[in-house]
Structure 1
C-alpha cells in the first residue's frame, strides 16, 4: 500500500493577485488593460511605500514636513506629477470620446463619471459647486486605481488563506 506523506509549501501568490486585480480594475474602471495601467499601479505603490517611510521617520509637524526639500518629498512630487500627467491624458481621451458619442462609451466607470459630470454642467451651468473639477476627477481616478486594486487583491488573498486553513470546504 502506498502512503502519501502530508507536506506543505509556501507559495507567494500576492504578485499574481495584484496583476489579476489590477487588470480587472483597469478594465472595469477605465476600459484599459493592466499593461496600460501598470505604470499607474507601480507609481502609486511606490508613493505608498514613501509615505510609510515618512510616517516612520522622525516627527516633524505636518504643515512643514511636506515643504522640506528631502529626497523622499522630491520623489513624491515627481510621482504625483507623473500620475497627474498619465491620468490627464487618459481622462482627456475619454472625455473626447464621450463628447463624440463613441459607441461603448458607458462600458466603464470613467465614462460614466465623465458623462454624469457633463450632464451636471449642462443642467446647472458651470457652477463650481454642482460639478466635479478636473482635479477632483483625477483624484477619484487615483482612488479607484489604488483602493480598488489593493482591497480586491487583499480579499482574494485572505479568501485563499481561509480556504487552505479549512480544507473541509472541498467536501461540500
Structure 2
C-alpha cells in the first residue's frame, strides 16, 4: 500500500542504486519497487528506470530519475539519531566510504548528493537541556565533522 505522504527525491539517473545502498545500510529500510518509463522522457528512454519506491528507516520515499537539472542541497537532509559512537561510526563510514563526503557538525553527503545528519542522541539531549550544558555541547559540536560522542558527553559535564 502506498503511503498518503511520501518524500520524493530527485536523482540524476541513479535512484535505484541509491535505494539499494540505503536498504543495505539502514535498518527498517528496503527497495520496494522499480518502475520503468513507458515512453521516452526528457532525461531518458522508454524502459529506463523512472521511479523507485523505497523505505529509509521506516520513511517511505520515491526516487525520481529526473536528470541533472535539480541537484540535492543542504536544504533537505535525513537526520539519523544514533545511540552510541559505534552506530554513529557505522552510518558515517558507510556514507562517506561509499563515495560520499564529510561536512561539519555531523553532516555528510552521500555519493548521489543527498545530505545526512548523523546525530548521536546525547547531542540532541544536551541541546534540549538548554543553558550552559547546551552551550558547551554546541560549542564542542561546532569543531567536529563526525560527532565524537565522548567529547559531547565531556562537554555536557563541563569537562575539557
Fold match (TM-score > 0.5): no
TM-score by length of 1: 0.20
Which one has the bigger strand percentage?
2
Which one has the bigger helix percentage?
1
Greater C-alpha Rg: 1
Higher RCO structure, 1 or 2 (CA under 8 Å, sep 6+): 1
